[in-house]
Structure 1
Amino acid sequence: MIHLLLVVIYLSFISLGLPDALLGSAWPSMYAGFDVPISYAGVISMIIALGTVVSSLQSDRLSRSLGTGKVTAFSVALTAAALFGFSVSRSFWMLCLWAIPYGVGAGSVDASLNNYVALHYASRHMSWLHCMWGIGASIGPYIMGYALTGGQGWPAGYRSIAVLQVVLTAILLVSLPLWKGQRTDAGAGEAPDKPLTLREIFRIPGAKEVMIAFFCYSAVEQTTSLWASSYLALHAGFSTEQAAGFASLFFIGITVGRAFSGFLTIRMDDPQMIRLGQGVIAVGIIALLLPLGEFFTLVGLILIGLGCAPVFPCIIHSTPAHFGADRSQAVIGVQMASAYIGTCVMPPLFGLIANHINVAWFPVYLILSLAVMVWMHEMLLKKSGQRLS
């Protein structure tokens, strides 16, 4: 039964990833019809991220009162409704309105399932869980690209993903009995009786650094997710239909990388995995920067995805080693909030750059975010090194 539940959890994270890249892949075909600037994708992204922040901060309370299974089922259903809303929207303000339940649903699934897997399953499942997200995020742009090339338009792409979410909601409802009575195999129950305040968390050596590192990671991942398609279409010479499909290469890189990360962690520790990922991201960005042609541009997107693969799950997994098992849950909560704030702020900021300067600054923006991430992670290792010795 435990293994069957794990399959359901993996399916849930595929569902979480499915709509994540839809806006970025469809936006080059959407914005002209709504008579708004290209930068307005950042507005929708910000609304989604704000909803995600709010729901993630409430996830602990909801999970305690309803249980993770019910929270997940309700959240996926909410996301399905929002995607249907996107598909029938005929004005920009309607997109903004439907972005609210979209973000609320996504945030509840993300926070609740990450916490559940951390408490009830071995650490290798964290990498594979996020690999499942990558599968969904890779499939989404292909579905959207198929809808665009088939002449059905972007609304059909959103409707197709919504239908898949409805199917998963039904699976989750049927699986609700599986969520009851599970026991931890990952050392749960070590959190302090009294939750730490934000001030107390900020005083922990390395806490501010890991929050900034998470913020910058989200800047790299989410800016690439939202703007890679526009960069390919408006700067690299691809058609909008090609760009929508090729943008999924980034998510393919994340998916493949996270599938292998679960095995690499057997021989490499978390700091080594994070440094490896950061190095691969740098190579991918350089491939975008250099005028090497369309092929190397696409290779660069794959490499950025491969590099992103181990960073997020390994930072989460290393939290007890850095801060102690008794404080890890509190720190992980703030880390997730920092990641969502990065999602909220950084992609829209690049949208302004793309609109008022040039979308060609995309790789420069990424490498600056990466540099700060690397710096903060090294500072984290220095301040909390005694816990890793």
Structure 2
Amino acid sequence: MATFFLIIIYLAFISLGLPDSLLGSAWPVMQPEFHAPLSTAGMLFMIVAAGTIVSSLASGRMLNRFGTGKVTLISCIMTAGALLGYAVSPSLIWLILFAIPLGLGAGSVDAGLNHYVAAHYKAHHMSWLHCFWGVGATLSPLIMGHFISGGNAWRQGYLTVAGIQFGLVVILFLTLPLWDKVAKISQGSQQEEPEILGSGHLEEAAQSARPLRIKGVKLALFSFLFYCGVEATVGLWGSSFLVSMKGLPAATAAQWVSFYYGGITVGRFITGFITFKLSNRTLIRGGQLLALAGAVLLVLPLPAGFSLAGLLITGLGLAPIYPCMLHETPVRFGKKHAQTIMGYQMAVAYTGSTLMPPLLGFLASSISISLFPFYIAVSAAAMLLLSERLNRVLTRRAAISSSSIDIS
């Protein structure tokens, strides 16, 4: 049952990735139809991101009250309805209105599914979960490209993706009773496992602590901010850097950036197998070092071919970081507040992906796009330093807990 249900969760994460790259693919043909400025796509993205941040912050209360299954079902209904609304929108104001439920639905389901997998499944499942997000994010441009290649048929593209989402709604509705059953089976098996050193001490201390006051939580949040900032900034500005500074044609630059996303997707698939041998902490550290190495390769004044290698290495390095940090949440901060902290992490992650790319855009317009690799390298280094400081906090906590056990 748990394996079958995991497939349902994977399908839900494919659907979560589908809308993320849909607007960018369709906007070149949507823009003239709505007589909108080019920058309007950025405004729509910001509205969706704002809704995602709000729902991520509120996800802890929503999940505690209604459960992961119901929240996921309602969120998918919202996103499917919003995509259908995009397909039939007669004017720009309707796109703006439908962007609100699209963001609100994405945030809750993202936080809910991540917490559910972190609490009830192993680390390799978390890596594969985010690999399937990459599958969805890769499929939607292909779907949209199929419809707009022969003309201005972007509405059919949105209708198709909305149909896929409504199909998932039916599946989630039919499997709604499984959420609690799988959770109970998982909890029963976890009770038979040995307790992680320091976790009992943390759970006891967390009973009276607010989530944000638990030691290390703020370091973890800033690590998420810089991670998503790096991931989104490379995706948004990598092509512009390659065209302006390396002299590549726009089509070639776009293809090279797709290799970067391919590195993330393939890297997460491979990471799922590596988790059988290495801990989350080791994979996070190794990924951050590899991402930093890829950024440094972009900084160096080397021929254009090395930039492709830098993008691919950066993508491979980023691959294990996000899913492994998410899976570590209950271990790092205890199961009592893990669900709420997961929502905070989602909110801060979306904040990083919303604010950091525009910040580079402002700096690039004021100075030069040549700042791109330095911006990525500094952000990757900040993520590494924050993560290592968090590791020291966790190590000290485990040592204190071990000492208190020995004394007793």
Report Cα offsets for 1:32-87 as digits up to 9, x if no partner.
76666655544322221211122223323333444322322221222122223334
Residue equivalent to 2:128: 128
Letter in 1 for 2:286: L
Letter in 2 for 1:205: K
Offset, 1:136 = 1.2
Residue equivalent to 1:318: 328
Q: 1:90 to 1:42 in 2, by over 3 A?
A: same
Pair 1:302 & 2:312 matched: yes
Q: 1:353 to 1:79 in 2, by over 3 A?
A: farther
Answer with 315-324 or 336-345: which moved more: 315-324
Whether the 8 Å CA contact 1:77–1:169 is kept in 2: the answer is yes
Q: 1:70 to 1:202 in 2, by over 3 A?
A: closer
Q: 1:231 to 1:70 in 2, by over 3 A?
A: farther
Residue equivalent to 1:350: 360
Distance in 2 (alpha carbons) for counterparts of 1:35 and 1:225: 26
Q: 1:42 to 1:70 in 2, by over 3 A?
A: same
Residue equivalent to 1:13: 13
TM-score, normalised relative to structure 2: 0.80
Residue equivalent to 1:384: 394
Answer with 253-262 or 134-143: which moved more: 134-143
Residue equivalent to 1:45: 45
Aligned-partner SS, 1:266: coil
Offset, 1:147 = 4.0
Answer with 109-118 or 5-14: which moved more: 109-118
Whether the 8 Å CA contact 1:39–1:348 is kept in 2: the answer is no
Q: How many residues in Structure 1 have an aligned counterpart in Structure 2?
A: 386
Whether the 8 Å CA contact 2:298–2:306 is kept in 1: the answer is yes
Whether the 8 Å CA contact 2:27–2:41 is kept in 1: the answer is yes
Distance in 2 (alpha carbons) for counterparts of 1:140 and 1:249: 16
Answer with 229-238 or 331-340: which moved more: 229-238
Offset, 1:223 = 2.6
Equivalent positions of 1:129-278 (< 5 A) are 129-152=129-152, 154-182=154-182, 183=184, 184-185=186-187, 187=190, 200-228=210-238, 237-239=248-250, 247-278=257-288
Q: 1:214 to 1:170 in 2, by over 3 A?
A: same
- Report percent identity of matched pairs: 46
Residue equivalent to 2:344: 334
Q: 1:205 to 1:64 in 2, by over 3 A?
A: closer
Whether the 8 Å CA contact 2:264–2:316 is kept in 1: the answer is yes
Offset, 1:175 = 2.2
Aligned-partner SS, 2:20: coil
Whether the 8 Å CA contact 1:25–1:141 is kept in 2: the answer is yes
Q: 1:62 to 1:322 in 2, by over 3 A?
A: closer
Q: 1:116 to 1:132 in 2, by over 3 A?
A: same
Whether the 8 Å CA contact 1:213–1:377 is kept in 2: the answer is yes
Distance in 2 (alpha carbons) for counterparts of 1:84 and 1:246: 32
Q: 1:161 to 1:248 in 2, by over 3 A?
A: farther
Whether the 8 Å CA contact 2:58–2:343 is kept in 1: the answer is no
Distance in 1 (alpha carbons) for counterparts of 2:350 and 2:12: 19
Answer with 66-75 or 375-384: which moved more: 66-75
Letter in 1 for 2:60: D
Whether the 8 Å CA contact 1:192–1:327 is kept in 2: the answer is no
Distance in 2 (alpha carbons) for counterparts of 1:231 and 1:136: 26
Letter in 1 for 2:121: Y
Letter in 2 for 1:316: L
Report Cα offsets for 1:277-311 as digits up to 9, x if no partner.
11222233345445656655444433332221111
Larger Rg belongs to: 2
Task: Structure 1: give runs of 5+ residues left out of the alignment.
Answer: none
Offset, 1:346 = 2.0
Distance in 1 (alpha carbons) for counterparts of 2:65 and 2:53: 19
Distance in 2 (alpha carbons) for counterparts of 1:231 and 1:36: 26
TM-score, normalised relative to structure 1: 0.84
Q: 1:296 to 1:170 in 2, by over 3 A?
A: farther
Q: 1:164 to 1:39 in 2, by over 3 A?
A: same
Distance in 1 (alpha carbons) for counterparts of 2:348 and 2:300: 31
